[in-house]
Structure 1
Amino acid sequence: MSNSKKKSEALRYHQYPTPGKIQVVPTKKHSTQRDLSLAYSPGVAEPCLEIEKNPDDAYKYTSKGNLVAVISNGTAVLGLGDIGALAGKPVMEGKGLLFKIFADIDVFDIEVDTKDVEKFIETVKNIAPTFGGINLEDIKAPEAFEIERRLKEELDIPVMHDDQHGTAIISAAALKNAIEITGKNISEVKIVVNGAGAAAISCTRLYLALGVKRENVVMCDSKGVIRKDIENLNVQKAEFATDRDVYTLEEAMVEADVFIGLSVGNVVTPKMLITMGNEPIVFAMANPTPEIDYNLAVKTRKDIIMATGRSDHPNQVNNVLGFPFIFRGALDVRATGINEKMKMAAVHALANLAKESVPEQVNITYGETSIQFGKNYIIPKPFDHRLITEVPPAVAKAAMESGLAKNPITDWDAYKENLAERLGAGSKLMRMLMTRAKSDPKTIVFAEADHLDVLKAAQIIHEEGVGKPILLGDKAIINELMEEINFDADLPIIDPLSREEKERRNKFAQVYWKKRQRNGITLLAAQRLMRERNYFAAMMVNEGEADSLVTGYSRSYPATVKPMIELIGKQSGVQKIAATNIMLTKRGPMFFSDTAININPTAKELANITYMTSVAIKMFGFEPNIAMLSFSNFGSSKSPMVEKVAEATKLLHARFPNLTVDGEIQADFALNSALLKEKFPFSKLTDKKVNGLIFPSLESANIGYKLMKEFNDVESIGPIIMGLKKPVHIIQLGASVDEIVNIACVAIVHAQEKAKIK
């Protein structure tokens, strides 16, 4: 992607459909006059008076306990430097977004327009009663040290400067594991730290707490090794000044065991790596360009353990592994601060998590067969759903043991369950899906690429490295549209009607004719059909010229499905194909079936739809818990529709006794576990989180998912076709760009799964 394209894309993202990235959403009913009288005057007076008598009641009656301030003066913004408080606001909003999506913590971003330390501290202290915690962000050193020190001393809520401690905690966990892999003694390893800013100082302090000896550390800044004989060192640099006879980074690297880079790109050479000790540990964390390129480093030293700040290489040191979960734990026990013991608890929790067996969902997300603790996996992956149930409890326990917890946790099992429920996996599914697709991009045909929205989706798939688009349609129109949207890429463009494609059309026609000649298709008819892009595109996939296909933007669903069934064919054992939609809800992804194909399935067909849905759920890395929906609960009503669902359930119980499926059941009982357990404790769904809903008819499924999509602003992926031999997916007529991108990701992941079976 060109720089101008990246710039315009970033600006559009932040401007539309609503400027910015975060908003305030009411948490209480507000539709009636009574609601408003409780929310504001006169009802609001009651909690005000209670808080006046007991300030701790603010945690009971307001959002204080789940609200963090992300505060900056914009003096050290994300490698952009001192750009000012207002210019740094998009970064602070972004930090707020990460707090919410990873740990369900609400954020107000606060930009303080002063470089004066005293004024900044005074401002933060004055607004602190609003918040349950303070996340300091992008404040330059050395002022950042003083600001954090004072605020931690003078406030009774958690305060943390993430630029310092976030990187320190994540890299310390990685370092602990890397040293363990080498078999070296942490008290003996020699460390070179390149960089002397807030992050470097904080990292090194935490490494000392982990067991590194101060005399084994050499720190460098842009001028070279920080030595004791240098005059006018600030307090922080003086803390790590050395009297060893080394003056340059190159000299310091000789026989070093560990290199920690928190500086600028490309300052480490292969020659420096060669001079390091055996099994060198190199954390090149400058972003976006590491101190040494990952591929160059691993080529230079086969025995290296390498980490960077980048997501496209193993061992990403990413602050998102830390700050959301550290604050989550601190807030949940109403800690009065974040101390060294709490930070170290996070270090050990992260380090230990990397040694545990990795869930299949994480393997699937990152396109791995089996992620295992070792040189290429010394720190958990950012999309590991276990982070929220492992790190916050460790931090909370440390706060309690330190005497900082005002609201101690007594039931840890219930607490972990609550943490798991805080974030439905639906909010993460598309990020995980795109990560998985990127791990092994497949070719994907966009059969209607001469439509602007389809081409825009293909552009995103290409530029994000998710897949390899093949563009079908009128070449002149496609080229014109590509120029219009600044889509500069050398991709295959195929016009099925063009003279250049005559030979391929005839080849496809012969294959199709031989397959369908006993179904009334003549060779002439087959040749005519190959001029239609959906038939042509389907043959490309069928003949192995493409891995997957997305179509349907400009044609009705039934008309688009027909050639796919005729050409691609059904999987062995599948009588009828079906479709499921993934609804990305707050409770997690919900699979709705059948939303597009079978109008009124029989009991046997309904059972087959359910089984195919269970396979789809597993493909996305989830364990299926499926409810067979009806207007009846386990025989409470009698009708042919109810009996059909009940019969389908019996068939499933007989054929797949290990599949968690039950019915017939009403939707509210299926989704309300407490209600289900109270009334129908015998159900196989009791104490299970339902993630699949099977509707008795196309009418109910289609209406249900579309109502949910529009009323609740729930994102939908699909319909996803189930039961075809090849990865072919059909979007709804006039689908949005995002919907096309989503289904394209599904098609690519589906192609990856098909490739494994071959």
Structure 2
Amino acid sequence: MGVLDQIYEKAKVNPQRVAFPEAANEKMMQAAYETGKEGFIRPILVGDAAELNALCKERGYETEVFTIVDIQEETYRQRLIADYVALPGTLLKERAVGRRMENPLYFAMVMQAVGEADVTFAGIDNTTGDVLIAGQTIIGLQPGISTVSSIGLCDIPGFEGSEGTLLAVGDSAVCTNPSAGQLADIAVSACDTVKSLLDWEPRCAMISYSTLGSGQSELVDKVVEALHIAQEKRPDLKIDGEFQLDAAIKPEVAAKKVLRESEVAGKANVLIWPDLNVGNTAVKLIQTFGHADAYGPMLQGFNKVVCDCSRGAPVSEIKGNIVISAVRAAGNK
């Protein structure tokens, strides 16, 4: 059974409520319908109820698979606003929330913030920037985290790592040139994401061209500083470095290069790239030459699970990311 099959099985055991603010989009509605019909999620379509009902009928979908939420239904809208502004730490007032909720993306996130949905799934009609701004405004960031980032899961044929053929990597999509503090946030968030999705004990390696001082430059210094910040923030996590890639994942190389005790060296299951140049290139190398399947990117750092999918993604890929998001939400609970 492949990794995605395992995730699908986990989703079926505990289906989560996924809100779709781009529900009228044909691909999004199809993906929501199929994952709902197959029992992986409980899909919530958010928008103009009359339009959504008409589209369901036109496309041949059984409306009972969905919960359809009309953003113009005033009683429900006012209850959501009241519940949202009553949340501790909420900065927005009633009128500010109400204005934003005219947009289905913000309406869905308010539903999620007050516990009426478990995931907000968007990204086809909204840009990544739209999703990130809405998420930071309405959902907010996890305590101690100030950076939104991403993580991907690679299934690499022929790779024999500590988790078989699987390796989690980040950030390969969001943070261009993270500072040491941001890099620490990415590492901490990645460990939490992996734990909620796969039940792994994260062993997180901070990747560099240097292993424990074998190279010296400001590029290495940033990774070392990030490591110290991450370890101080979350001493409960196994985060170590700075390691070259082979020292992080190959025990025989770690035995030669890492001449001290390490719970990560040689057996890392999470890799943190120093910047997006490295991360984006590394993932494409893994896919092109390693013939790997790469799932994600999964946004992380928010208080709750928010997903931004690729605009060009086929329905099959959208479905996979919906199910992954739902399993993350269940794991976070």
TM-score of the pair, normalised by structure 1:
0.39
Which amino acid letter does the alignment assign opposite residue 605 of structure 1? Q
Q: Which residue does the alignment assign to 1:502?
A: 74
Q: Which residue does the alignment assign to 2:23?
A: 449
Q: Which residue does the alignment assign to 1:579?
A: 150
The verdict on how the C-alpha distance between 1:740 and 1:642 changes in structure 2, with shifts beyond 3 A counting, is same
The verdict on how the C-alpha distance between 1:633 and 1:552 changes in structure 2, with shifts beyond 3 A counting, is same
Stretches of structure 1 lacking an aligned partner (at least 5 in a row): 1-100, 102-427
| 8 Å CA contact 1:628, 1:662 repeated in 2 | yes
Q: Which residue does the alignment assign to 1:609?
A: 186
Deviations 1:246-269 (A, max 9, x none): xxxxxxxxxxxxxxxxxxxxxxxx
Shift of 1:518: 9.8
Deviations 1:283-340 (A, max 9, x none): xxxxxxxxxxxxxxxxxxxxxxxxxxxxxxxxxxxxxxxxxxxxxxxxxxxxxxxxxx
| 8 Å CA contact 1:580, 1:613 repeated in 2 | yes
Q: Which residue does the alignment assign to 1:544?
A: 115
| 8 Å CA contact 1:662, 1:683 repeated in 2 | no
2:139 maps to 1:562: no
2:239 maps to 1:661: yes
| 8 Å CA contact 2:148, 2:300 repeated in 1 | yes
The verdict on how the C-alpha distance between 1:696 and 1:438 changes in structure 2, with shifts beyond 3 A counting, is same
SS at match of 1:472: strand
The verdict on how the C-alpha distance between 1:733 and 1:704 changes in structure 2, with shifts beyond 3 A counting, is farther
Aligned with residue 749 of structure 1, among 320, 324, 327: 327
| 8 Å CA contact 2:254, 2:266 repeated in 1 | no
The verdict on how the C-alpha distance between 1:703 and 1:523 changes in structure 2, with shifts beyond 3 A counting, is farther
| 8 Å CA contact 2:17, 2:117 repeated in 1 | yes
Which amino acid letter does the alignment assign opposite residue 448 of structure 1? E
SS at match of 1:561: helix
> Hey, what's the Cα distance between the residues in 2 that align with 1:541 and 1:654?
31
2:8 maps to 1:434: yes
The verdict on how the C-alpha distance between 1:613 and 1:550 changes in structure 2, with shifts beyond 3 A counting, is same
Which amino acid letter does the alignment assign opposite residue 693 of structure 1? L
* Identical residues among aligned pairs (%): 29
> Hey, what's the Cα distance between the residues in 1 that align with 2:9 and 2:304?
22
> Hey, what's the Cα distance between the residues in 1 that align with 2:282 and 2:175?
15
Stretches of structure 2 lacking an aligned partner (at least 5 in a row): 160-164
Structure whose residues are more often strand by fraction: 2
Number of paired residues?
325
Deviations 1:487-537 (A, max 9, x none): 2241222342xx4x2333344455667789997x67554333111111000
The verdict on how the C-alpha distance between 1:711 and 1:488 changes in structure 2, with shifts beyond 3 A counting, is farther
Which amino acid letter does the alignment assign opposite residue 595 of structure 1? S
> Hey, what's the Cα distance between the residues in 1 that align with 2:276 and 2:88?
29
The verdict on how the C-alpha distance between 1:703 and 1:456 changes in structure 2, with shifts beyond 3 A counting, is farther
2:164 maps to 1:593: no
Which amino acid letter does the alignment assign opposite residue 214 of structure 2? S
- Aligned ranges for residues 325-336 of structure 1 at < 5 Å? none
> Hey, what's the Cα distance between the residues in 1 that align with 2:69 and 2:90?
30
Shift of 1:694: 0.3
Shift of 1:545: 1.6
> Hey, what's the Cα distance between the residues in 1 that align with 2:85 and 2:231?
42
SS at match of 1:682: coil
Deviations 1:414-468 (A, max 9, x none): xxxxxxxxxxxxxx22111111111121211122121122112112211221111
The verdict on how the C-alpha distance between 1:658 and 1:727 changes in structure 2, with shifts beyond 3 A counting, is closer
SS at match of 1:623: coil
Shift of 1:593: 1.6
SS at match of 1:751: helix
| 8 Å CA contact 1:627, 1:663 repeated in 2 | yes
| 8 Å CA contact 1:626, 1:661 repeated in 2 | yes
Deviations 1:340-391 (A, max 9, x none): xxxxxxxxxxxxxxxxxxxxxxxxxxxxxxxxxxxxxxxxxxxxxxxxxxxx
- Aligned ranges for residues 635-654 of structure 1 at < 5 Å? 635-653=213-231
Shift of 1:580: 1.2
Q: Which residue does the alignment assign to 1:690?
A: 268
| 8 Å CA contact 1:625, 1:685 repeated in 2 | yes
| 8 Å CA contact 1:660, 1:684 repeated in 2 | no
Which amino acid letter does the alignment assign opposite residue 182 of structure 2? E
Shift of 1:752: 2.1
